[in-house]
């Protein structure tokens, strides 16, 4: 019974069934591009972050970022997606309150 109401709400919000899904082909997820070691370091420097802070931002270890910047390893998955978004819209970090300067 509750699912019937959920469907009615969906129909009210999207009257023409224009919900973005893979099935109806309205939405295509673009694979994030690969970053070179120079681009990764450049992004980190542009954001004025230390290796440790950049690693914390991406939820990876310091060693991982160091390996990316040395060209030993390459980022994949969520890290690539986040770096792509941050590269295009660096203000997203401030707008989403991901980080901010503190007095201490």
User: Three-state DSSP class for 46?
Assistant: helix
Q: What is the pLDDT of residues 1-13, one digit of tens each?
A: 455 566 666 666 6
pLDDT at 9: 66
Domain 37-95: homologous superfamily in CATH: lambda repressor-like DNA-binding domains (1.10.260.40)
Copy the structure tokens of residue 42.
């450049």
Q: CA separation (Å) from 21 to 14, 25, 31, 61? A: 13, 6, 16, 34
Distance CA 31, CA 103 (A): 39
Q: What mean pLDDT comes out for the span 10-25?
A: 59
Q: What is the pTM of this model?
A: 0.69
Inform me whether the pLDDT recorded for 51 exceeds 90. yes
State the virtual CA torsion across 49, 61, 32, 17 in degrees, nearest 10. Answer: -100
**Domain range list for the chain:** 37-95
Q: What mean pLDDT comes out for the span 18-28?
A: 61
């Amino acid at each position: 019974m509750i699912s019937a109401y959920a469907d009615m709400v969906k129909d009210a919000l999207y009257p023409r069934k224009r919900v973005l899904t893979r099935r109806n082909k309205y939405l295509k997820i673009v694979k994030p591009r690969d970053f070179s070691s120079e681009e990764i370091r450049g992004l980190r420097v542009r954001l004025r972050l230390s290796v440790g802070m950049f690693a914390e931002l991406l939820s990876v270890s310091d060693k991982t970022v160091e390996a990316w910047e040395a060209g030993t390893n390459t980022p994949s998955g969520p890290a690539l997606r986040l770096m792509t978004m941050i590269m295009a819209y660096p203000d997203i970090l401030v707008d989403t309150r991901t980080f901010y300067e503190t007095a201490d």
